[in-house]
């Protein structure tokens, strides 16, 4: 007979085939793509085979619901199954699959002894957490928590002009479910860093997010012949954008090692012709740090660079959009609950910060939330070589099961009783 651990690894192996990039171990299943639609249909069948009712809301969040206590709120747990282009198979997807199997285990226990259930169980596959096809990231949980308007999200288009609404309709994943009453939320994720592996930690107790400041810039110059136009006459938007990219990297060296991460993840150049000086570049740039003061200093320096670009390169730089936050804590009660469960299971554990954003950063502002990590081998993520060992996947599943069990019994929720 198959053990619960074997059942998880079997389902995990099947799921990893959706959008698989041949001979790499990685995947490409961006939000509302054909592979995303295929995995969602398979996941729905898995949930239904364990007695869960599958629903979709208007932004494509996929829920598996199990009502054990009629009329009671739900303990919600999950993550996301969409990926970056040619990315690892663990990011997000592990959290959804672990959440499903944790709920399967707890559901079996509670069906055997209904008196132990205080809340219902729900699994969620959030839509478009990655933000690679449609911006912004964490779209599904942002709409769910009211931080992003549904109409705005549905109207968002990808680089090919396809809207979120159109893409969801194409794979049959836009629904009308609403009104889920959530008592508490739990999420588990691969760390996407190497500190846990280096320190021999199996369970990361996430206590806070790093501070961050994200920008979308538009650099505007003047279109010209790339050969004939005198260098002194050029107003090269791509040169200006390149200076921003380099300036962001050089900022890192002004601070202590590990205190600032910077990146430029996307550039769109117009007209992007081999014989034309670019007239416009749009680029995304972000600053991240455990220190809000470091972010502020880096921001000031970046603005100084932009002023020099305006004078020296004769380009205009416009901030189209920006978003920032200070170091953002998770509820301490959730961290302590997770610590106690790790102790009971004999799992090595430590408090960690998360540099990456997760759907839990939206949910923790609404309900009691627990955020957990398992190690990533060599810290590799958003890469085809991303990997987490089976023993760590199973340890995380055991730990998350303990968390869901406690939440279903009423942990973290204050009542007037």
The single residue listed with the structure tokens 């089976």 is 390
The CATH architecture annotation of domain 4-208+328-408 reads: 3-Layer(aba) Sandwich (3.40)
Domain 211-325: which CATH number of 2.60.120.620, 3.60.21.10, 3.30.300.20, 3.30.70.360 = 3.30.70.360
pTM: 0.93
Q: How far apart are CA 168 and CA 174, in angstroms?
A: 5
Domain boundaries, the chain: 4-208+328-408, 211-325
- From first to last of its 417 residues, what are the pLDDT tens digits of the chain? 789 999 999 999 999 999 999 999 999 999 999 999 999 999 999 999 999 999 999 999 999 999 999 999 999 999 999 999 999 999 999 999 999 999 999 999 999 999 899 999 999 999 999 999 999 999 999 999 999 999 999 999 999 999 999 999 999 999 999 999 999 999 999 999 999 999 999 999 999 999 999 999 999 999 999 999 999 999 999 999 999 999 999 999 999 999 999 999 899 999 999 999 999 999 999 999 999 999 999 999 999 999 999 999 999 999 998 888 888 999 999 999 999 999 999 999 999 999 988 999 999 999 999 999 999 999 999 999 999 999 999 999 999 999 999 999 999 997 544
Q: Rounded to whole angstroms, what are the CA distances from 122 to 73, 76, 89, 289, 305?
A: 10, 5, 23, 33, 48
């Amino acid at each position: 007979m198959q053990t619960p651990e074997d059942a998880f690894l079997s389902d995990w192996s099947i799921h990893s085939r959706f959008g698989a990039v041949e001979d790499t171990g990685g995947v490409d299943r961006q939000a509302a793509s054909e592979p995303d639609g295929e995995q969602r249909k398979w996941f729905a069948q898995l949930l239904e085979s364990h007695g869960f009712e599958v629903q979709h809301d208007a932004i494509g969040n996929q829920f598996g619901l199990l009502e054990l206590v009629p009329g009671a709120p739900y303990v919600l747990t999950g993550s996301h199954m969409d990926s970056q282009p040619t990315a690892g198979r663990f990011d997000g997807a592990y959290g959804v699959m672990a959440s499903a199997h944790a709920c399967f285990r707890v559901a079996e226990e509670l069906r055997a002894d209904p008196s132990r259930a205080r809340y219902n169980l729900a699994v969620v596959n959030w839509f478009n957490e990655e933000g690679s096809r449609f911006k912004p990231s964490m779209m599904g949980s942002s709409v769910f928590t009211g931080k992003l308007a549904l109409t705005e999200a549905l109207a968002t288009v990808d680089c090919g002009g396809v809207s979120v609404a159109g893409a969801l309709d194409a794979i049959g994943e836009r629904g009308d479910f609403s009104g889920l009453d959530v008592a508490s939320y739990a999420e588990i994720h691969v760390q996407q860093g190497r500190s846990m592996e280096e320190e021999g930690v199996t369970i990361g107790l996430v206590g806070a997010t790093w501070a961050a400041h994200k920008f979308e810039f538009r650099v505007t110059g003047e279109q010209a012949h790339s050969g004939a136009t005198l260098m002194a006459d050029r107003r090269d938007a791509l040169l200006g954008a390149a200076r921003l990219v380099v300036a962001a990297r050089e900022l890192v060296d002004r601070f202590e090692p590990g205190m600032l991460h910077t990146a430029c993840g996307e550039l769109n150049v117009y007209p992007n012709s081999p014989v034309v000086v670019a007239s416009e570049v749009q680029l995304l740039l972000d600053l991240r740090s455990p220190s809000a003061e470091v972010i502020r200093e880096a921001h000031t320096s970046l603005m100084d660079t932009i002023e020099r670009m305006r004078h020296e390169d004769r380009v205009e730089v416009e901030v189209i959009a920006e978003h920032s936050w200070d170091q953002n804590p998770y509820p301490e009660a959730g961290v302590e609950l997770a610590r106690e469960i790790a102790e009971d299971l004999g799992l090595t554990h430590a408090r960690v910060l998360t540099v990456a954003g997760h759907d839990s950063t939206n949910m923790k502002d609404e309900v009691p939330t627990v955020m957990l990590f398992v190690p990533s081998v060599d810290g590799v993520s958003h890469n085809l070589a991303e990997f987490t060992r089976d023993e760590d996947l199973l340890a995380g599943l055991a730990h998350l099961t303990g968390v869901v069990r406690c939440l279903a019994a009423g942990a973290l929720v204050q009542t007037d009783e």
